[in-house]
Structure 1
Amino acid sequence: MPDRQRADARRNYTRILAVAKEEVAANGAGASLEQIARTAGVGSATVRRHFPTRRALLEAVSRDWIEALCVRAQDLTGRDDSRNALLEWLSEVIAYGVSVRGLAAALAYDGARADLVENSCSAALEEAAGPLLRHAVQDGTVATGVTVGDLITLVVGIVLATEHNPDPATRADELFRLAVAGLSPQP
């Protein structure tokens, strides 16, 4: 939100964002923009002026969580066991994705529009986790050619696939462990 906005516009933005956080927490990424507008006491045009797309709204709602995950990636960078540091961070991204409704949708690329619309949430995580992945690749514990974008896509897929499971956190963790271990039997 630009600092040069009028005071009433800043208040509207703040109120809309607070209501949107509650609505997304209750109803996920499909939260009704019209309901957000009604609850915030503004018109739907005001919501769309501040958040022109659903993605913009989800990104704003998820900003604090994304920042926390970025800080966590930085904290884990430089650990002796680079693979475990990367896996620990990815597990935390999954845990946030399961517990914070709407976060996986905010991280997901927008299909055919992925080349046209930058996903600021994923871009922030890619930048923050880049050093984690580079260390693991340099140490030979993660295959070359893997990108943070690949890993975020995997995490988003796991979170979205398990969101309606009776115990989504446990199921998401199981699927993540399967993806990490692969399908081959362990010796």
Structure 2
Amino acid sequence: MRADAEKNRSQILNVARDAIAEHGADASMRDIARRAGVGLATLLRHFPTREALFEALLCTRLDALTQQAAELETSASADNALLSWFRDLVAFTQGYRGVVAMMAAAHTNPDSALYASCEAVHSAGARLLLRAQGEGTARADMNGDDLFALITALGWAVDQPSFAPRADHLVQLITSAILTNRPGNDDEKAVP
């Protein structure tokens, strides 16, 4: 790809990331092109559909989360690695309204442009879970599919306006159910 084309593509992705964070899946392609300083035709040359633009954004972030999991596997305790990665993945789903449905659909569709990235992030989470289970800090009765389902469900819940203010509390509830033998997991805390 030519240098100017690569620069345009990067600029479009940066602007699209912000626009989608603000407006979700309904972000205007025209507005993204305008904010990126390119014509709509240039945007459409790089990303012929809204879905192609979303897929490029999501693949980039999912691949970063997969890389993060690999780094956490060697640099943090098993339970802290899983907790940190889980929180970051939920934060990612919060940052892109509508992403949960796309991830859930892509997870079982090998024809999806998101499939490889979703499969990689799913496998990375399963490895982190297995490591925590091996150290006795995570429930033994769950697997990577269960973890992915919980993240998806939590991502959907915190995407709803009525649950969004309680996102941190919901993450804490779910992670305390996954991770055992952690300080504070046995404490009953009053919740407003």
What TM-score, normalized to structure 1?
0.68
2:20 is aligned with 1:14 = no
Q: How far off is 1:82 after superposition?
A: 2.6
CA deviation profile, 1:133-187 (whole Å, cap 9, x unmatched): 221343453335611x54234223212322243772x5223323333428xxx69
In structure 1, the residue matched to 2:50 is: 54
| Per-residue deviation, residues 63-122 of structure 1 (Å, max 9, x unmatched) | 564454334322332578534432332123223433x23584486233797242152442
Equivalences, count: 176
Q: In 1, Cα distance between the equivalents of 2:72 and 2:10?
A: 32
Alignment match, 2:183: none
- TM superposition shift of 1:33: 1.8
Which moved further from structure 2: 155-164 or 77-86?
77-86
**Distance between the aligned counterparts of 1:10 and 1:131, measured in 2?**
34
Change in CA separation of 1:76 and 1:55 when aligned onto 2, cut-off 3 Å? same
Structure 2: gaps (5+ residues): 179-185, 188-192
- Unaligned stretches of 5+ residues in structure 1: none
TM-score normalised to structure 2 length: 0.67
Q: Is 15-24 or 112-121 further displaced after alignment?
A: 112-121
The answer to whether the 8 Å contact 2:73/2:128 transfers is yes
What's the counterpart of residue 139 of structure 2?
142
CA distance in 1, matches of 2:2, 2:93: 34
Contact preservation (8 Å) 1:62, 1:106: no
Call closer, same or farther: CA 1:130–1:104 in 2, change over 3 Å: same
CA RMSD between the two structures: 3.6
Give the residue type in structure 1 aligned to 2:169: E
Alignment of 1:26-175 (within 5 A): 26-40=22-36, 41-43=38-40, 45-62=41-58, 65-78=61-74, 82-98=78-94, 100-102=95-97, 104-105=99-100, 108-110=103-105, 114-119=109-114, 120-140=116-136, 141-143=138-140, 146-147=143-144, 149-165=145-161, 168=164, 171-175=166-170
Q: Give, as a single letter, the amino acid of the residue that structure 1 aligns with 2:32.
A: I
The residue aligned with 1:178 is: 173
Measured in 2, the distance between the counterparts of 1:112 and 1:61 equals 16
Q: CA deviation at 1:60?
A: 2.9
Paired AA for residue 177 in structure 1:
Q
1:47–1:146 Cα change, 3 Å = same
Given the superposition, is the C-alpha separation of residues 47 and 155 from structure 1 closer, same or farther in structure 2, using an over 3 Å criterion? same
